[in-house]
A and B are shown apart, each in its own frame.
Chain A
Amino acid sequence: EIVMTQSPATLSLSPGERASLSCRASQTVPFNLAWYQQRPGQAPRLLIYGVSTRATGIPSRFSGSGSGTEFTLTISNLQSEDFAVYYCQQYNDWPPYTFGQGTRLEIK
């Protein structure tokens, strides 16, 4: 089973700043990596798939990068609605499809 490790656990930033969230896989997942956003009380929402492709309707301030085992989600010019929990997920080696433990992005 591939273990996904996200860091930091919590990130405190102010609106307008840039956030960088990391995700590391215990084995290579080439480009089969997705990011999801979950706001309080809501279902997860697909943000990024294939490492760097934005899902339908996702603003351009969200971008993904990386390959192999190291991946980053970058959110530029943070908006109030961006403060949420973010999960990475690998879908290269399955079952199981594994998620990271999440990074909470909070307002500083």
Chain B
Amino acid sequence: EVHLLESGGDVVQPGGSLRLSCAASGFTFTSFALTWVRQAPGKGLEWVSVISASGEKSWSADSVQGRFIISRDNSNSTLYLQMNNLRADDTAVYFCAKASERRTVAVPLDSWGQGTLVTVSS
């Protein structure tokens, strides 16, 4: 069974930094792209960033480009999101999610973690 467990969410001041982690198990980690999706309180889903299975390629939404960095440690089956220069509108639950097919990024997300809450406030 696929299991994704996010951690690292916290309350942080505007301009601060935070690193989220997503520990994965139950599938061949090195074969699947991984994605971060966020959800502001009471709002819809917003795609944040995706990284290829190998970790060589990644893409991010314009809203976080230059501030957030997605990475992965394939030896430890862990996905990361380094979040810098945080703003109030980054406040959200951050979900990690797995691609539904091997070795491609342009596919739906078939497994999701339960999310971790990031609150940006002074």
Residues in B neighbouring A42, C-beta threshold 8 A: 114
Q: Is A61 an interface residue (CB 8 A)?
A: no
Nearest-neighbour CB distance to chain B for A29, whole angstroms, equals 11
A46 with B44: CB separation less than 8 A: no
- Known A44-B45, A49-B108, A99-B45; contact A94-B59, beta-carbon cutoff 8 A: yes
State the majority secondary structure of interface residues on A: loop
A96 with B47: CB separation less than 8 A: yes
Residues in B neighbouring A98, C-beta threshold 8 A: 47
Within 8 A of A (CB), among B66-80: none
Chain A interface residue count, Cβ-Cβ cutoff 8 angstroms: 25
Residues in A neighbouring B44, C-beta threshold 8 A: 87, 99-102
Q: Is A25 an interface residue (CB 8 A)?
A: no
Q: Which residues of A contact B (CB under 8 A)?
A: 32, 34, 36, 38, 42-46, 49, 55-56, 87, 89, 91-92, 94-102
Enumerate the 5 nearest inter-chain pairs by beta-carbon distance, A residue then B residue, closest first.
A43-B112, A34-B108, A95-B59, A49-B108, A99-B45
Residues in A neighbouring B106, C-beta threshold 8 A: 32, 91-92, 94
Nearest-neighbour CB distance to chain A for B46, whole angstroms, equals 7
Q: Is B7 an interface residue (CB 8 A)?
A: no
How many angstroms from the CA of A51 to the CA of B76 in the assembled complex?
35
A96 with B107: CB separation less than 8 A: no
